[in-house]
Structure 1
């Protein structure tokens, strides 16, 4: 938690956020220059809140409560935390909704008290707080807030969150959490003991494939979002989806054994994803303009 203590000052969060997001430098260069700092600050906010919930010493609920109170000052006062002091002009300029910023704090509150999710619907409810707000806030920075884009973004962000859960089954268990639906575990004959033993049994692999298929379906459902975004930012949006799908492919290549080492996408494959997204952009520019809802 040392990197996120309150002695970090304003602009230092910009550098700090880069170190926490492997793809950030590449992705940010695709955004209009005016949006790079706001997007970086948004991700710094997201990461800081996550670290309060995952790594902060002492009473994490109390720290999350205090940060929420300081967030309120961004909407009619002067926040005390250096990150919020730096982020406040972005919140005001772009009209970032407090409900979405609050939801990210609430997700980390949930992590302190909810350790298991009985159904997939329960897990999606968690994603409404932990994942969907990130996409909605990103869209707001791009200037969009219509229902259709939000629906596509929600599918993408939920899919990405599920992918992250699948990557981190062992790590999350060490923190006392399981993000695999309990009824699915029972259906496929997977117990908590399997996870505790880090035992990738055939039953566990079948369960993981089932959950991966769910995540893949959501990512494919959200793919049209990039077609609704103007400029090079559409490549950025497309890469979010391609990245999640690439991790799912890597999980399949590993036969869903996530206990040996964390499944990642290598640099060569990342370069291929970028090229694929760039080629998609060139092809998409030959298509008629998108006729969906406008902001």
Structure 2
């Protein structure tokens, strides 16, 4: 299957959310990137989106989720019929990209089905190592960037993006999927209970735990601030600068807003303004 086909040409699976790359919080294969790099990135995105939809489905039983994820893994090994997995397999083979990134991502989605709590910050970062860092590493490999130079910054930024997403949606994740990504020891230190996530507004204790986690996320973003400067491809570096700016602003909001009762997500206008500021260096 042609990996350059637009996302809507692949039929959605039975557990599809209908969400596409334009619905994400951060740019995916934006116009900033060279055209030849967008197709493999979109193949990876379609694969990730489908696996994410499977893992996050509110009503499918875990055994069915694991079965469908296993079918996708078979497709990566050319032993199945999953369209998105087969397309990504062909894309990685043609571009000589290490398939480990896709395998790590499937490990993360399998963990989403089987693990619903993270005891410590280190446990959460271990999850991000599978769920977020491989995405940026794949993009860097597509651009033939130096791994030693770029992976440390990538890993910090991608982990921050993942945690920001989870903090924004912490109430929804708990109510819909009984998942908690705020480290349990952080919640305990503040006297917060997991059940507090089901309320219409965060308790003072839960709000403190959310802000503690956001503060640690801000430290990750401090680590990734020089990442874009280490990227040789100027257009990819520009996209990374935009993503860094968006993540910093969302983290700032999480330090002052209650994600259970207040909007944290950017509007299109807000995201566009921040992106422009990042591109012109303001």
8 A Cα contact 1:10 1:86, kept in partner = no
5+ residue gaps, structure 1, are 1-8, 284-295
| Structure 1 residues 7-65: Cα deviation after superposition (integer angstroms, max 9, x where no partner) | xx98352667434436547x611011111222222211111111121128451111111
Shift of 1:157: 0.3
8 A Cα contact 1:153 1:225, kept in partner = yes
1:67-86 matched pairs, under 5 angstroms: 67-73=72-78, 80-86=81-87
Aligned pair count?
266
Structure 1 window deviating more from structure 2 (145-154 vs 261-270): it is 261-270
Cα 1:14–1:277 change in 2 (3 A) is farther
CA-based RMSD: 2.3
Cα 1:205–1:22 change in 2 (3 A) is closer
1:1-295 matched pairs, under 5 angstroms: 11-13=5-7, 17-21=20-24, 24=27, 28-55=30-57, 57-58=60-61, 59-73=64-78, 80-174=81-175, 175-229=177-231, 230-252=233-255, 255-280=256-281
Shift of 1:276: 1.8
Shift of 1:142: 1.1
Cα 1:221–1:10 change in 2 (3 A) is closer
| Structure 1 residues 88-124: Cα deviation after superposition (integer angstroms, max 9, x where no partner) | 3320132222221111111111111111111111111
8 A Cα contact 1:11 1:86, kept in partner = no
Shift of 1:262: 4.3
Question: TM-score, normalization: structure 2?
Answer: 0.86
8 A Cα contact 1:185 1:191, kept in partner = yes
2:14 maps to none
Q: Distance in 2 between matches of 1:250 and 1:242?
A: 13
Q: Distance in 2 between matches of 1:207 and 1:149?
A: 31
Q: Distance in 2 between matches of 1:57 and 1:204?
A: 29
Cα 1:23–1:242 change in 2 (3 A) is same
| Structure 1 residues 57-82: Cα deviation after superposition (integer angstroms, max 9, x where no partner) | 45111111111111112xxxx75222
Q: Distance in 2 between matches of 1:18 and 1:267?
A: 14
From the CA coordinates, give the structure whose radius of gyration is larger: 1
5+ residue gaps, structure 2, are 10-18
Q: Distance in 2 between matches of 1:170 and 1:243?
A: 21
Cα 1:57–1:205 change in 2 (3 A) is closer
Q: Distance in 1 between matches of 2:135 and 2:210?
A: 25
SS in 2 for 1:28: coil
SS in 2 for 1:232: helix
